[in-house]
Structure 1
């Protein structure tokens, strides 16, 4: 067995309302519920063992845990806690600061996320410097619960590729019939 990272399995995300977050991620990104690790009615779960295992403050209880699948890419694991988180992490805070999803059609997915309740932080921008290319762009949005979501696409060659054989990981192109279902 080779000791190497093969890819991102899932991203854990703490949300204030599990059902609302599930609806947003389904409507905006085409996510589907895989399973509930801790169904909402079976919680709360807490105590010293949970606090130690997860590194949460004393008295924190898990209300629910749900695993979602994106049409292509890692899973998104949603956590709901009591008491709920104090405030959303800002990009300038220490720690993981945003979730970036590679998309083929940035404008359509951005519009879908906005329709589902995301707040656009700015219009799409060209990727800068070593990532630049005619159609290489990104856009940041704020989810309804305050987390930062980046949509990024870089179908064109990037300047950094001229200086190294190493490449950024990107998902394989989906066949035309796959991907996020159309809204409606």
Structure 2
């Protein structure tokens, strides 16, 4: 059995937002994100048509009008999509199938939660202890919503896991 893999890790996550500029500004203010570049600059010819619809699995007549990559810390990037002429469903909740939240590791959970709220986000509760194997004295998390409703989890686990034989990837400081 080979110990190497062709798969390195998550490169980015995609998130459709009502307005790329507003979403990027929110992430910059709430999570200290940095804009890397626009994949599809605002005002460019939209990505649309039968080939785009087939390649991306989007509804007929939909068009992507703006795409931007932002990065939080040293983690993977978030690819923001802005559509026109596309039907929308409500934002996925934690109980819905599929990808429904991103989690951001923070050093100071209380400061991060306050910054998120100041930027216009909403905490679902105060920061609280983590559960089970993650339940250690200083480990905490909180779910929050962006202004457009996407779930973001803020978490910190400076005390590690109860079972020291387990390993969890943590972003570098």
Does TM-score exceed 0.5, indicating one fold? Answer: yes
CA distance in 2: counterparts of 1:34 and 1:59, whole angstroms: 29
Report the equivalent of 1:99. 102
Q: Of 31, 36, 46, which residue of structure 1 is paired with 2:38? A: 36
Write the deviation string for residues 15-35 of structure 1: whole angstroms up to 9, x where unpaired. 011111011000011111111
Write the deviation string for residues 97-129 of structure 1: whole angstroms up to 9, x where unpaired. 110011111111111111111011111110011
**For residues 72-151 of structure 1, what are the structure 2 equivalents within 5 Å?**
72-84=74-86, 85-151=88-154
Task: Give 1:56 shift.
Answer: 1.1
Report the equivalent of 1:50. 52
CA distance in 1: counterparts of 2:78 and 2:155, whole angstroms: 17
Write the deviation string for residues 131-176 of structure 1: whole angstroms up to 9, x where unpaired. 1100000000000111000001001032233xxx34111112x2xx
Q: What is the RMSD of the two structures over their aligned residues, measured on CA atoms? A: 1.6
Q: Of 4, 9, 30, which residue of structure 1 is paired with 2:11? A: 9
Report the equivalent of 2:169. 169
Unmatched 5+ residue regions in structure 2?
A: none
CA distance in 2: counterparts of 1:157 and 1:142, whole angstroms: 26
CA distance in 1: counterparts of 2:6 and 2:116, whole angstroms: 34
Unmatched 5+ residue regions in structure 1?
A: 175-184
SS at match of 1:19: helix
SS at match of 1:108: helix
**Length, aligned pairs only:** 170
8 Å contact from structure 1 (residues 60, 82) kept in 2: yes
Runs of 4+ in structure 1 off by over 4 angstroms are none
SS at match of 2:43: helix
CA 1:4–1:167 in structure 2 vs 1: closer, same or farther (change >3 Å)? farther
Give TM-score scaled by structure 1 length: 0.87
Between 117-126 and 80-89, the greater mean CA deviation after superposition: 80-89
